[in-house]
Chains A and B, each alone.
Chain A
Amino acid sequence: MCGKSEVPMKQLLGDIPTRFIAITILLALLVLAFLTVRILLVPVVAASFVAYLFEPGVVSLQRRGVQRGPAFLLLLTTSVTAIVVLLGLTSSWLKFESIERISTEDIAVRLDSQSGELENWLNKRVPLAQSIDLSKRLAARAGHFAETFFEQLPSLMTAFAVNLLLVPFIAYFMVRDGRRLRRRIVSMVPNRYFEMTLIVWHRIDQQIGGYLRGRLIECMLVGVTQVVVMGITSLFVPQPQILLISVVCGITNLVPYVGPLMGAGFGGLLYLGAQGVPMAAVYGLIVATLIAHLIDNIAIAPVVLSQNVGLHPLTVALTLVIGGELLGILGLLIAVPVASSMKVIAQEVYANYQLQNRPS
């Protein structure tokens, strides 16, 4: 279009159009800005999870002539109502008010005594272990972690409450305008890269959509399993706050491998710090979590996760380390979808390269 001014730029950059570079830089700046304003990341990522989860239902209603926005609102309202009714029916059984006060000192003291017993048992059998001084180290670390965690708990709860309102709001617009926005973005891609962008976007959408929906359904089922198993355990040992712990276990299950440990860790700390909750409750919780995890691995995951992202376990582990290091818990949650998207892009670029360099 402006031939004279483009000549030196073209000499400098070869075949790469300047518009493509401008868009790449703009996208990079956007990602950077997004990473800087982390406060936006949590609700946006959570909203995209919700949007993906509701997508099949929205499409089903859309086929019956309902617009995407109202379809999402209808499904959301139905789901929330169903959850509230279910909670109302099971509130007495789920023991909402079982824990009255949590003290971080209690956690340190009880952990110290428990790990002390464990250390004595270990020292009798492995004399070398005496030099490790397990109980003091463990108690100090856990005490410090619990102190930080419970100090931050009020602000975490506030953020959770804000997100509870913000997430459906963002998800609504993602569902309503997502496809239009995608078309607008794709329309800005230069002709040379247009078809490839369209294919890559479609594949990522299919793969991530399938994976996330599978994981989210799996997490919900794990949460329900945890409720049931803890409910059965509560017949033998006290298991307060079944619902809270099960919800946390369900959410943390989104993180591959370490998720169940994180959920059980949260419940364990809650029980250790709660007044009047015996140590048997912690052991009961560990057994219940193990059983729920086993049921997940044997019965839930193989059925629900038919759409696998096809990443090697080592790649998943490394991705989780990087995600956790960069963005904390949020990084752990989005690490696998992001890695999977990068894999799709790499596969497409490589396939494109191979086709173009194929001997004719």
Chain B
Amino acid sequence: MKPDGIWGNIFRYGPRKEPLAEVLQNIPVFQDLSPKELRILEGVVHLRTYQPGETVFAETEPGAGMYVIRYGRVDVVLKHQSENELVLAELEEGDFFGEMALLGDGSRSATAVAREKSELIGFFHPDLLEILELHPVMGAKITLGLAKTLADRLRFTNMQVRDVWEIRGPNEAVIG
């Protein structure tokens, strides 16, 4: 949402920033949190700014957690900067990515690159552990939200596999 008109130019200099709690509340992982818990979460997350073209994380690198886009746009790509580069998703304000790394060790399965100047909210594995240690109920809500999100993703992937199965037949679906 860019400001328009003379007043917009006078009173608003940068991109419009949603309050942190508001952005976080709309993320399925955090949607069960109370306003008080969201305020605690605000103090735990990390704000990072990325320039256009800057890599947020790279494929095969060890991952530490998830990112939520506060403003800006991020592309999730496979084989970044190679001939076979494939854009998997174009994400914008309010979208989130990298949540699988929240669960612990593992490498990133794709590369995330900022398409324009973006501010991301980072929530990482050590942060989740800290919340579980200090606020167990809140930690349980986040973990449950994370499990639901991953289950949704898995269900969606299963549906896609079934579609391919039905179109191509079992052998081609497995090989392809």
Contact = CB atoms under 8 A, between A and B. Distances in A.
B124 interface: yes
Given A187-B46, A202-B126, A351 B56 contact: no
Interface residues of B, number: 27
A360 interface: yes
A350 B108 CA distance: 16
B57 interface: yes
A196 interface: yes
A195 B134 contact: no
A201 B126 CA distance: 9
Contacts of B62: 195-196, 199, 348, 351-352, 355
A196 B61 CA distance: 9
Contacts of B64: 195-196, 198-199
Contacts of A202: 125-126, 129
B34 to A, nearest CB: 15
| Residue among A179, A183, A198, A201 with max Cβ neighbours from chain B (10 Å) | A198
B133 interface: yes
Contacts of B136: 63
A360 B56 CA distance: 20
Interface string A121-140: 00000000000000000000
B124 A59 contact: no
| Residue among B54, B126, B130 with max Cβ neighbours from chain A (10 Å) | B126
B50 A191 contact: yes
Interface in A151-202: 179, 183, 186-187, 191-192, 194-196, 198-199, 201-202
A62 interface: yes
A358 interface: yes
A355 B46 contact: no
Given A183-B46, A202-B126, A191 B134 contact: no
B72 interface: no
B94 interface: no
A308 B133 CA distance: 22
Contacts of A5: none
A92 interface: no
Given A63-B134, A186-B46, A202-B125, A358 B60 contact: yes
B134 A360 contact: no
B48 interface: yes
Contacts of A306: none
B126 A59 contact: no
Contacts of A194: 46, 48, 122
Ranked 9 nearest A-B pairs via Cβ: A202-B126, A195-B64, A355-B107, A355-B60, A199-B64, A356-B60, A198-B64, A198-B124, A62-B134
Given A195-B64, A202-B126, 10 more contacts: A59-B133, A62-B134, A63-B134, A186-B46, A191-B48, A192-B55, A195-B63, A199-B125, A202-B125, A355-B60
